[in-house]
Each structure stands twice: as structure tokens, then as C-alpha cells.
Amino acid sequence: MITNSGRKNTLYRLLGNTIAKMPDWLSQAHAGKGFKSPHLWIISFLMAFFGFVYYVDQTPLVNTSLLSHSFFTGVHDIHRAFFFIPIAYASVVFRIKGGLITSFVFLCVILPRAFIFSTYNDPLLRPLIFVLFTTIVSLLIAISLNQFEKEKKNNIILAEAYRELGEVHRSLKESQDQLIQAEKLSSLGQMAASIAHEINNPLSGVIVYTKLLSKKIAGDNISKQTTLNYLSKMESELTRSTGLVRNLLDFARQSPPNMREIKLNEVIERALDLVSHSAALQNIQIIKELSASLPRIMADFDQLTQVFTNLILNAIQAMPQGGKLVLRSSNDGNQIKIEVQDTGCGISQENMSKLFTPFFTTKIEVKGVGLGLSICYGLIQRHQGKIEVQSQVGKGTTFTVYLPLQHEKSEGASIQ
């Protein structure tokens, strides 16, 4: 009988073997230069083919029996999404330059339809969001692969040094291999965490506001002020997304927080604003018990927003049939106490000790990679705070975060 521990070890071994083979595959992907590269022709063909699919319903071909009721007509959003395939391909093969060029070509392909054929009041909105999303993801792919190759080269150098030392101390070889493997998994985990959690939340908010805006415009029941308010929120989240791309490598290197004086209640409100639509869809009642007398603290606003966004999302996902979510802040001596309390399914005692372990997840209905709480734990520690959890199966869970009012001085901290 295969235990859970055995399955996990087998998964890690398969993942490690896949990671070890990736650099060889990536080096082969660069075979051929310029027009001699087969990858360039493949990417060009895919862009041309998806461009044909995107515009075919505007041509006389659509009147033929072959295309009149086919997949080639009437699903423009899906057709736009197809362009992500050659853009991602170009990012893997040609990295940042390839991703930027194919994203620009993508923009040039879809703009004419928006200008000429679109019947929407804001014809550029949806295409630009598609282009921005694909550009950001392509850059993340390219940056992650470049970082991975850099880590691989460092690991090769380290492995050479270990092999020379292993000739003297052969009994250390097994420990050295385990260390190299752990470093590979650590690098992969950092990149996966950045891509999966950093970029998903703001873009999800933008997509929701886009759908709301389209629905209200179609019904002709939206005011100018409401439209400007939606667009302002979308601009804010897209600006934050571009900032996340710039901070991706710094986060992977575990750089110190960018500390400034902030109001913690504003962080909680910002996090709640990003995910409140998910709570509304699941009929979840949100109760805010935020103390108005909280002192300001020195902290990184974006990193704490990420922490509380993850905690609130976890609480919402724990209540698929509805429930009550309580957000509570208070002054607790020389620290501030923040509680995120839900009436969801709860966590079993056997899983409580594993909650903050990387790659561990209890989510079944919602797919997760098991890195959200691990990231939260690390960010709170970097703020010299702590995070605790109490839970009872069938009754709910409470995550409690403690943040100090004053930080001990640490080398490398940046204070604005």
C-alpha cells in the first residue's frame, strides 16, 4: 500500500528529474539563428493561422456551408486567447525579446477589428486587457526561465565543487545531492509562487470590473461617474500588476520589505476590495470590526496586502455554501492584532502542523499549489511578526496575525 508520504516522495523525484532535464531541452530550443530557426517559422505560422481564425467571420467565407455554423465564428474572446500559444512559445524560445515582439504583433493583429468591426461602446478595452495580460505572463515566463538557467549554472558550479570534495569525503555525497535537489525545488517554488499568487489577484479584479462594465453599458444604465470609478480601479490594479513584474526577482531573492508608515486598516480594506466580489457570489456576510484608534506602523503595503488577500480568499473558499467572514483589528500592547475568522469547514488537527509547509494544500474543489500560506508565513516573519491559526472541523477557522509597532533595525531594510 502506497502511503501519502510515499506518493509525495515519488512526486518530488519526478519533479526533480523534470527540472534536471529542462536546461537541456531549453538549449536545444535555440537551435538555428534568424530565419534559419524552425521555431521562428512555427511561431509565424501560428500567428498567421490564429489571425485568420480571428478575422474569418468578417470575410465572404463565413457565408459558405463549411464556416456558417462552425467554431470559427462568434467566439472572439476565445480566438484572442489562442494567440497566447505562440506568445508563450516565443517567450520560451527567444525569452523577453520574443515575448515582447509577439505581443506587439498580437496588438497589431487585433486592433483593426476593434476599430473597424467592433460594436462595443469601448472597443479598445477588451483587446488591450488581453494584450496586457499576455505581455505580463510572457515576461514572467521569460524572466522565470532566465532565472532558472542562472540557478542551474550556479548549481553546476556548486556540484563540481562538491564532487571534488566528495573524492575526499565520499560519505558526504548523498547529503550533497540532497542539498542540490533542495535548491532546485526552492527556486521552482519561488518562481511558481510569484506567478500563481502575485499576478492572479489584481487581474481577477480587472476581469470582474470589465464584465460589470460591459453588462452595465449594454443595459445603458451606467453613469459617467460610475464608469470613471470602474476604470480608475482597473487602472490601479493593472499598474500594480506591472509593479509586481518588476518586483518578481527581488521577491525570489527574499529581499527586505520596502518599509514605510502605513495604516493597517487601509491594507485590510484594499485586500477586501480585491476579493469582495468572490464573497458576494458565494453569499458570504462580511463583518468588519476594525479599530479606528490603531497607530500607524512601518511595513510594506503591497506585501501585507498580499498576505491578507490570501487569508481572506482562503476563508471564502472554505465557505462554498455561504457563511460569515469577520475581519477584526485591535491594539494588543506593543503590537497590532488582526484576525480573519470564517465559519467554514475547518481544518483537521492532523493537518494543522502542515499548514505553512510549501506545496501542502487541503483544497479539493479549488485547485491550489499549496504555497499561499507558506508565502504569508514568510512575509509576516520578514515584518518581524507572527501568524497563528485556530480551527475546529465543521465550525470554522481563525487566522491571527501579530505585527510589531516598532521594528528592530535590520541590515538592508529600506525605509521611505
Return the C-alpha cell found at 153. 549554472
Tell whether 46 is covered by a domain. yes
Task: Count up the domains in the chain and report the number.
Answer: 2
Q: Is there a single domain that holds both residue 301 and residue 164?
A: no
pLDDT at 251: 41
Q: Is there a single domain that holds both residue 191 and residue 94?
A: yes
- Percent of the chain residues past pLDDT 90, beyond the cut: 17
Q: Among 33-37, 173-177, 385-389, where is mean pLDDT lowest?
A: 173-177
pLDDT at 372 over 80: no
Higher-pLDDT residue of 398, 158 = 398
Tell whether 416 is covered by a domain. no
Tell whether 257 is covered by a domain. no
Tell whether 310 is covered by a domain. yes
pLDDT class of 20 with cuts at 50, 70, 90: low
pLDDT class of 75 with cuts at 50, 70, 90: low
Q: Is there a single domain that holds both residue 127 and residue 28?
A: yes
Q: Decide if 359 contacts 369 (C-beta within 8 A).
A: yes
Q: Among 93-107, 187-201, 253-267, where is mean pLDDT lowest?
A: 187-201
How many CA atoms, within 13 angstroms, populate the side-chain half-sphere of residue 25? Answer: 9
* Mean pLDDT computed over 101-117: 85
Residue at which a domain ends, from 252, 281, 299? 252
**Which residues is 404 bridged to in the sheet?**
335
Higher-pLDDT residue of 402, 115 = 402
pLDDT at 218: 83
Q: Is there a single domain that holds both residue 14 and residue 122?
A: yes
pLDDT at 62 over 90: no
Q: Which of 81-85, 151-155, 220-224, 397-401 has the highest mean pLDDT?
A: 397-401
Tell whether 236 is covered by a domain. yes
Q: Is there a single domain that holds both residue 247 and residue 270?
A: no
In this predicted model, what pLDDT tens digit does every residue of 136-174 receive, in sequence order? 988 888 888 888 888 888 888 888 877 776 766 667 556
In this predicted model, what pLDDT tens digit does every residue of 311-368 receive, in sequence order? 998 898 889 889 999 999 999 888 999 999 999 989 888 888 778 776 666 665 544 5
Q: Is there a single domain that holds both residue 37 and residue 103?
A: yes
Residue carrying the nine cell digits 534559419: 36
In this predicted model, what pLDDT tens digit does every residue of 259-295 receive, in sequence order? 899 999 999 998 887 777 778 888 999 999 999 999 9
Q: Is there a single domain that holds both residue 226 and residue 274?
A: no
Amino acid in position 376: C
Q: 112: domain range? A: 7-252
pLDDT class of 191 with cuts at 50, 70, 90: very low
pLDDT class of 237 with cuts at 50, 70, 90: confident
pLDDT at 385: 93
Q: Is there a single domain that holds both residue 203 and residue 284?
A: no
* Mean pLDDT computed over 88-98: 88
- Percent of the chain residues past pLDDT 70, beyond the cut: 68
Residue 373 region by backbone torsions, left for phi larger than 0, else alpha for psi between -120 and 50, else beta: alpha
Residue at which a domain ends, from 194, 219, 252? 252
Q: Is there a single domain that holds both residue 183 and residue 316?
A: no
Residue at which a domain ends, from 201, 228, 252? 252
pLDDT at 247 over 60: no
pLDDT at 31: 46
Return the C-alpha cell found at 113. 477589428
* Mean pLDDT computed over 193-201: 59
pLDDT at 202: 75
Max Cα separation, the chain? 79
pLDDT at 6: 62
Q: Is there a single domain that holds both residue 36 and residue 69?
A: yes
Tell whether 413 is covered by a domain. no
* Mean pLDDT computed over 49-56: 84
Higher-pLDDT residue of 79, 312 = 312
pLDDT at 412: 37
CATH number at residue 378: 3.30.565.10
pLDDT class of 178 with cuts at 50, 70, 90: low
Q: Is there a single domain that holds both residue 41 and residue 190?
A: yes
Distance of alpha carbon 272 from alpha carbon 236, whole angstroms: 15
Tell whether 332 is covered by a domain. yes
User: Rounded to two decimals, what is the model's pTM?
Assistant: 0.42
Q: Considering the chain, what is the average pLDDT of its residues?
A: 76
Q: Is there a single domain that holds both residue 92 and residue 115?
A: yes
Work out the angle at residue 382's Cα, subtended by the Cα atoms of residues 381 and 388, and round it to the nearest 5 degrees: 20
Tell whether 178 is covered by a domain. yes
